[in-house]
Amino acid sequence: MANPSLKIRLFPRAETTVRAGHPWVFAESVKSTNRPGEPGELAVVYDRRDRFLAVGFWDPESPIPLRIIHSGAPEKIDRGWWLDRARACRDRRSGFGPDTTGYRCINGDSEGFPGLVADRYDDTLVVKLYSAAWVSRWAEIESILREVFEPRYLVRRVARNLADLDEGFVGQAGQEVVVFSENGLRFEAAVRHGQKTGFFLDQRDNRARVEQLAEGRDVLNVFSFSGGFSVYAARGGASSVTDLDISAHALESAGRNFELNPEVSVKREAVQADAFAWMAETTGRWDLIVTDPPSLAKREREKAGALKAYRKLNADAIRHLRPGGVLVAASCSAHVRAAEFLALMREEARRSGRPWRELWTSGHAADHPPGFAEAEYLKAIAIELG
């Protein structure tokens, strides 16, 4: 590994972006390789003057065949090197206390671990691998993660596209669901079967903002998943909360999350339905509506459809808001940029013909640092309608 023999050359523009610290190299930017290379192999990039430029993980089948782990002066990529990098991730998150025991420890490509995400839920570390490179390096990375983050339990999951490489789950029996704290509230994370690593940690700060808006309000949580926004709204003094999700599992989990917080009592309703259709048809009225759909554009060509769906969904939500009500609209579609989504939302507010006021916009919680533009997938806006 110290002397990797796979050599890559890039076209000039890609050399510039890599030099600037961007971790992704797209297939069309690769000028040549000395041999095809294996998935997960370490590749060294040389610039046009034959100088070391960077080193990264090679995955010949991927649209992003090279993911940079280091650029600048040559360095030996060994256990100590990864250990330092993991410690840096840990030190960046030293601010979390006992009130918040669920947070992201390693944010993938943005923090120099391409295709590896590690989320802590209390004493369990859930590691999700999106790249074959980690499957072959597992023994080393597991020992590093244990040393740095000191979890009692470690769960490994692999993304669906890698499932044939791996049994997909390594963990302790009985560790399928873990209870953790977030800003003093308790939640369960389905660390084995749940979406992502079991919970949407990236919305933590937005949940806290919703809590601040909830006092005395009837709240509709559209795409509620396990009720995160609703539990916060309840603590914030909401008069009622309605969870709307297509998944019975998600709604059951929301019910359990309310039970985990007995001090938070609120009138609660759960609706299992397709949210797009339900929002078009309902005659209900609310004072605070949160819309947080799953990614609607996983590929660039899905973007136009996604924008249309956001428009329709949020126009419906605005119609269901009582005077003085607030809409909190979120988007996690990576291909829809923040500026575009925010502009669309402001336009829908204007088109409603009602007076409106923007309260805030936001992105990811701080434990999800986006290292580069494409990693900024989450954006949200709060708009008050007269």
Binding residues for ligand SAH (CB under 6 A):
200, 203, 223, 225-226, 228-229, 245-247, 250, 274-276, 292, 294
Task: Name the region of 37 (left: φ>0; alpha: ψ -120 to 50; beta: rest).
Answer: left
Nearer to ligand SAH, 67 or 303 (CB): 303
Least distance CB 330 / ligand SAH (angstroms):
7
Joined tokens for residue 305: 């459809």
Least distance CB 124 / ligand SAH (angstroms):
18
Least distance CB 143 / ligand SAH (angstroms):
32
Least distance CB 371 / ligand SAH (angstroms):
23
Nearest to 218 by CA among 205, 203, 232, 234: 234
Nearer to ligand SAH, 272 or 361 (CB): 272
Longest dimension (CA), the chain: 68
Nearest to 106 by CA among 141, 67, 152: 141
Are the C-beta atoms of residues 138 and 168 closer than 8 Å to each other? no
Nearer to ligand SAH, 40 or 284 (CB): 284
Distance of CA 375 to CAs 109, 197, 204, 296, 339, Å?
A: 8, 18, 17, 16, 14
Nearer to ligand SAH, 138 or 276 (CB): 276
- What whole-number distance in Å separates Cα of residue 106 and Cα of residue 148? 11
Least distance CB 185 / ligand SAH (angstroms):
12
Are the C-beta atoms of residues 45 and 56 closer than 8 Å to each other? yes
Phi and psi of 309, rounded to 5°? Answer: -65, -40
Least distance CB 294 / ligand SAH (angstroms):
4
Nearer to ligand SAH, 86 or 201 (CB): 201
Least distance CB 182 / ligand SAH (angstroms):
10
Least distance CB 159 / ligand SAH (angstroms):
17
The type of residue at 92 is R
Nearer to ligand SAH, 124 or 331 (CB): 331
Nearer to ligand SAH, 113 or 187 (CB): 187
Burial class (CB in 10 A: 0-12, 13-18, 19+), 83: middle
CA atoms within 13 Å, Cβ hemisphere of 266: 30
Nearer to ligand SAH, 89 or 190 (CB): 190
Q: Which residues, other chains included, contact 308 with Cβ-Cβ below 8 Å and sequence gap of 6+?
A: none
